[in-house]
């Protein structure tokens, strides 16, 4: 694979994003990053910590681009298009091909996301253009 690729895995908690990311990082030189990897306490119900974790994830993605990682896999929920745009902009700035993949498995979520948070994500879900 000659071209650099940024793969955004999006889906509700428990859809299998992390599992798929684990398979994709078997590609030589591939790296994965997620807001769930944020060091310290990350709570989906704490807006400040959630924003901090997502800012950290974007920073880590750019750091991998600066190091010219051939494949970067970001596995977050990406419920809205607005959450994808900063990654799209990074891909354009650093010459990465962007792939947005919606993961729709129905697996148990290890994050114990409260039912009301899941329902809000379902209501707010925006399809990505083209799929």
Q: Which residue has the tokens 């908690």?
A: 13
Residues of the chain with pLDDT under 50: 1
Domains and CATH numbers, the chain: 5-12+27-105 (3.40.50.300)
Backbone region of residue 55 per phi and psi (left: phi > 0; alpha: psi in -120 to 50; beta: other values): alpha
Predicted TM-score of the model (pTM):
0.86
The pLDDT, as a whole number, for residue 118 is 81
- Measured in residues, the chain has a length of 131
Q: What is the pLDDT of residues 37-68, one digit of tens each?
A: 988 765 656 666 788 899 999 999 999 999 99
Q: What residues contact residue 125 under an 8 Å CB cut-off, 6+ apart?
A: 12, 79, 80
């Amino acid at each position: 694979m000659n071209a650099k690729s940024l793969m955004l895995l999006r889906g509700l908690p428990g859809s299998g994003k992390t599992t798929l990311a684990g398979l994709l990082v078997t590609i030589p030189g591939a790296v994965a990053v997620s807001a769930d990897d944020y060091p310290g306490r990350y709570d989906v119900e704490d807006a400040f910590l959630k924003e901090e974790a997502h800012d950290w994830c974007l920073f880590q993605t750019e750091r991998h681009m600066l190091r010219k990682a051939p494949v970067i896999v970001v596995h977050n929920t990406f419920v809205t298009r607005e959450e994808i745009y900063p990654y799209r902009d990074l891909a354009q700035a650093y010459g990465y091909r962007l792939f947005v993949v919606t993961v729709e498995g129905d697996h148990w979520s290890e994050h114990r996301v409260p039912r009301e948070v899941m329902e809000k994500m379902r209501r707010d879900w925006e399809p990505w253009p083209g799929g």
